[in-house]
Amino acid sequence: MHTLPGRLDAGEPGWTETVDVVIVGSGIAGLTAALRLRDQVDRILVVTKDILGNGSTQWAQGGIAAALGEGDTPDQHEVDTLVAGAGACDLDAVRVLVQEGAEAVRELISWGTNFDLDPDGNLSLTREGGHHRDRIVHAHGDATGAEIQRALNEAVRRAPEILVYEHTMVLDLVLAEDGGVAGLTVHVVGEGERDGVGLVRARAVLLAAGGLGQVFSQTTNPAVNTADGMALALRAGARLRDLEFVQFHPTVMYLGPDSHGQQPLISEAVRGEGAFLVDWDGSRLMEGVHELADLAPRDVVAKRIMQRMLETGHPNMWLDARHLGREFWERRFPTILASCESHGIDPATDLIPVAPACHYASGGVHTDLWGRSSVAGLYATGEVACSGVHGANRLASNSLLDGLVFSRRVAEVLPGELRPLAEPAADLRTVGALSGAGRRELQETMSLQAGVLRSATGLGEALADLDKLAGVDATALGPDAWETTNLITISTALTQSALLRQETRGSHWREDFPERDDARWAGHCDVTVGPDGALDVDFIPSPATDGAHA
């Protein structure tokens, strides 16, 4: 039994704000919800850890998937999503995603998003791994996320009903006597009278805080993604689901053994346009491995790269896109081209060194199809949430669509479910904040023992290291200590879930249990924590199984 750190110790709040709804996060999920709620709720506050929109959305290169092309249908999109999810998707959630996706994308266009068009003036569509149709809409070639974020930022700035606090880190949920939401505590930097720790009283809290990428040494996620939303939800009693299903993007630029933190992503769309993977001998890496070859689902490609790296002792493999030509690169992938060139690589003449890195969390705060968590008044959407739509491995370009579709659904039900403004109850949870000095060790442990390749031995060693780090209290309170506490909290829960699931499924690869998609493990790993901080991880079998597992 592992005991998690307690609620974040931040001292007494120096100021108070009262709103109807507070939204944590300012990417596609958070801002879509804010724009959808503005005509239905009086006071909406968006809090964001950095500046408006400086999260994962702006880094999305490939695009957003929806059945918009001639001959494509939601049913075909559904099949591809289910195949990628490896038997762990919630079918109803997938159907919501694919059936409501096209309308949601059109709404983005109505808010000012400029997607690329073909010569006939129709949406230009491309293909990525796991898709059997061209259904990826994109913007400025490979800057889709940045264009969506620009349009949403401008729409929010034009909406006086939406209040925005930048440079604001959310610390913990504040609960009422009935266990439901009464608000949250935050730490603001540089906002005049609101500088420092404050209390935001609210009738509902919507988490749209992104993922957990900084748990690992190398990730495509920005520095702000330190699992804050998942950690504070867990501490407040919310159920987290499927944390073991972490997607590692197969083609992240390899910058050398000392590289750390956010790494340059080479979008799957590059392979969708004809690039292919090769090993150090120049042999095609994915031929004969999967029917879709280089466009196989991400877990298949990432595992093949890792296998070949282990077989050869090399730290990376290569992406060959030289045949696309300089003119094509400049037109279709200008952002990736500039990134490559900044590291001394010309993809029109050079092979691109690539290796898998943490990209996306398919698990998170467990929600229903309307974004409701297991805590009254707490909702979640986007990467911080787990509706079951991604299963064991997210299909390429379904992430932006997830945040878009399910935020619209939250906004549909939340106004009619607002709780009365409640008084904060006495918080009896233990208090804790851990030393930020252990962050690098944590990340290296997680990458080595709980990354692409996992085993009982490695996961056990990771838990022992995490327990050791959890025993070092912070000497000074502040964002570094609070973020590290959140990282240790979610790393422990993730590792314990990965240890429980004794099979290989989707993005979860157990070397000691190589059998794929074991029917006995069709179901979910749910994580909760008690008032004493004790971590509880349970296997919840799917209704179609007998629940038997090793």
Q: Which residues contact 503 (CB under 8 A, 6 or more apart)?
A: 510, 513, 515, 516, 517, 518, 520, 521
pLDDT bracket for residue 4 (50, 70, 90): confident
Q: Which residues contact 537 (CB under 8 A, 6 or more apart)?
A: 493, 496, 497, 500, 525, 526, 527
How far apart CA 239 and CA 448 sit, in angstroms, is 27
Copy the structure tokens of residue 104. Answer: 């949601």
Nearest to 146 by CA among 35, 32, 28, 66: 28
**Residue 385, beta-bridge partner list:** 365
Supply φ then ψ for residue 208, to 5 degrees.
-140, 45
Considering 7, 127, 150, 298, which one is annotated as catalytic?
298
The pLDDT of residue 126 is: 87
Q: Contact 430/534 with Cβ under 8 angstroms?
A: no
How far apart CA 440 and CA 357 sit, in angstroms, is 16
Nearest to 211 by CA among 355, 385, 59, 42: 385
The pLDDT of residue 128 is: 83
Q: pLDDT for 179-201, tens place per residue?
A: 999 999 999 997 677 889 999 99
Q: pLDDT for 516-529, tens place per residue?
A: 899 999 999 999 99
Q: Is 458 helix (H, G, I), strand (E, B) or coil?
A: helix
Residue with tokens 């060959």: 320
Is the domain defined by 246-358 classed in CATH 3.90.700.10?
Answer: yes
Q: Contact 545/522 with Cβ under 8 angstroms?
A: yes
Q: pLDDT for 84-131, tens place per residue?
A: 999 999 999 999 999 999 999 999 999 999 999 999 999 999 888 789
User: CATH fold of 34-188+220-245+362-381+393-417, please?
Assistant: FAD/NAD(P)-binding domain (3.50.50)
What count of other Cβ atoms lies within 10 Å of the Cβ of residue 76?
17
Strand 44-47 to 21-24 pairing: parallel
Residue 548 pLDDT exceeds 50: no
Q: Look up the CATH architecture of domain 436-515.
A: Up-down Bundle (1.20)
The pLDDT of residue 59 is: 64
> Is 298 labeled as catalytic in the residue annotation?
yes
Residue 544 pLDDT exceeds 70: no
The proportion of the chain whose per-residue pLDDT surpasses 70, expressed as a percent, equals 97
| CATH 3.50.50.60 domain residues, the chain | 34-188+220-245+362-381+393-417
Nearest to 355 by CA among 229, 461, 248: 248
**What value does the CA radius of gyration of the chain take, rounded to a whole number of Å?**
22
Q: Contact 462/495 with Cβ under 8 angstroms?
A: yes
What is the arrangement of strands in the sheet containing 15-18, beginning at the earlier edge strand? 15-18, 196-201, 181-188, 168-175
Supply φ then ψ for residue 491, to 5 degrees.
-60, -40
DSSP 429: S
Q: For 138-147, what is the mean pLDDT? A: 85
Q: pLDDT for 38-97, tens place per residue?
A: 999 999 999 999 888 776 676 666 789 999 999 999 999 999 999 999 999 999 999 999
How far apart CA 41 and CA 105 sit, in angstroms, is 23
Q: For 399-406, what is the mean pLDDT? A: 96
Residue 274 CA to chain centroid, in angstroms? 27
What count of other Cβ atoms lies within 10 Å of the Cβ of residue 312?
12
The pLDDT of residue 433 is: 86
Q: For 461-490, what is the mean pLDDT? A: 93
| CATH 1.20.58.100 domain residues, the chain | 436-515
pLDDT bracket for residue 546 (50, 70, 90): very low
The pLDDT of residue 531 is: 76
| CATH 3.90.700.10 domain residues, the chain | 246-358
Q: For 332-354, what is the mean pLDDT? A: 95
Residue 547 pLDDT exceeds 80: no
Which pTM was predicted? 0.93
CB neighbour burial string for 29-53, b if at least 16 within 10 angstroms, e if fewer: bbbbbbbbbbebbeebbbbbbeebb
- Least confident span in 191-195, 338-342, 382-386, 388-392: 191-195
Residue 173 pLDDT exceeds 80: yes
How far apart CA 1 and CA 336 sit, in angstroms, is 45
**Nearest-10 crossing angle of helices 28-37, 144-157:** 30
The pLDDT of residue 530 is: 84
Nearest to 271 by CA among 98, 154, 128: 128
The pLDDT of residue 473 is: 86
pLDDT bracket for residue 550 (50, 70, 90): very low
